A and B are shown apart, each in its own frame.
Chain A
Amino acid sequence: DSGVTQTPKHLITATGQRVTLRCSPRSGDLSVYWYQQSLDQGLQFLIQYYNGEERAKGNILERFSAQQFPDLHSELNLSSLELGDSALYFCASSVPAGELFFGEGSRLTVL
């Protein structure tokens, strides 16, 4: 158990809909990262937050947004969903420049 909790584990929705994925980091970790994993693209970095502030941005679409709350949990919002957004979404947490601890992921299926 990495200590990182992600919900929901599975989500099935339709094109055009909006979903929210939730992540609770390990106790004491201030950094939260979101990654997208699809079969042909590997692990793609989306965005990082540190203590509530956006720290780095990767290949995150404009239809996607995230935030980190004062209690350090984070949410990834995906809107106007397309078939190609179907993927595993991972959250990870760490101390600065430390090892990343990953959750077990949220599998999103867009039909």
Chain B
Amino acid sequence: GENVEQHPSTLSVQEGDSAVIKCTYSDSASNYFPWYKQELGKGPQLIIDIRSNVGEKKDQRIAVTLNKTAKHFSLHITETQPEDSAVYFCAPRKGYSTLTFGKGTMLLVSP
């Protein structure tokens, strides 16, 4: 099965700084790369995703970049705000298979 690793496991930044979380996967056939955000007391929610035919995708302050050769993709958050504080999960997938979640990165944004 897919092996997924996320780094770092925790990340503390000051409000306004940028944050980057990296996800490394093992299955070169993976072709769908989402990031989910889980706020305290809630279920995970999709915030951005990318498919294997695209190298980068942006949505306002968040972006995802994909390096298929190196088998990793990253979440970039610019101008961080306290409401960005949450746990972020990557979950690469191949075709119609189920998502394999990384162990999560806890992001803390201090005012």
Q: A43 near B: Cβ within 8 Å?
A: yes
Binary interface profile of A, 28-46, with partner B (CB < 8 Å = 1, else 0)? 0000010100000111010
Beta-carbon contact of A43 and B89 below 8 Å: yes
- The residues in A between 1 and 20 inclusive whose CB is less than 8 angstroms from any CB of B are 2, 4
Of B36-44, B60-68, B75-83, the one contacting chain A is B36-44
Q: A104 near B: Cβ within 8 Å?
A: yes
Closest to A48 in B: B98
Q: B92 near A: Cβ within 8 Å?
A: no
Beta-carbon contact of B95 and A97 below 8 Å: yes
State the CA gap A58–B96 with chains docked (Å). 15
Contact of B45 among A35, A96, A102 (CB under 8 A): A102
Closest to B49 in A: A99
B48 → chain A closest CB, angstroms = 11
> Using Cβ atoms and an 8 Å threshold, which residues of chain B touch A100?
36, 44, 46, 99
> Using Cβ atoms and an 8 Å threshold, which residues of chain A touch B41?
104
Tally of A-B residue pairs with Cβ under 8 A?
46
Beta-carbon contact of B102 and A42 below 8 Å: yes
Query: Given A99-B34, A100-B46, A102-B43, is A45 in contact with B89 using a C-beta cutoff of 8 Å?
Result: no
Beta-carbon contact of A97 and B96 below 8 Å: yes
A56 → chain B closest CB, angstroms = 5
> Using Cβ atoms and an 8 Å threshold, which residues of chain A touch B102?
42
A58 → chain B closest CB, angstroms = 7
Q: A25 near B: Cβ within 8 Å?
A: no
- The residues in B between 27 and 57 inclusive whose CB is less than 8 angstroms from any CB of A are 32, 34, 36, 41-46, 49
Closest to A50 in B: B96
Beta-carbon contact of A2 and B104 below 8 Å: no
Q: B69 near A: Cβ within 8 Å?
A: no
> Using Cβ atoms and an 8 Å threshold, which residues of chain A touch B36?
100
Q: A66 near B: Cβ within 8 Å?
A: no
Q: What are some 7 contacts across the A-B interface (CB < 8 A)?
A: A42-B102, A56-B98, A96-B96, A102-B43, A102-B44, A104-B43, A105-B42
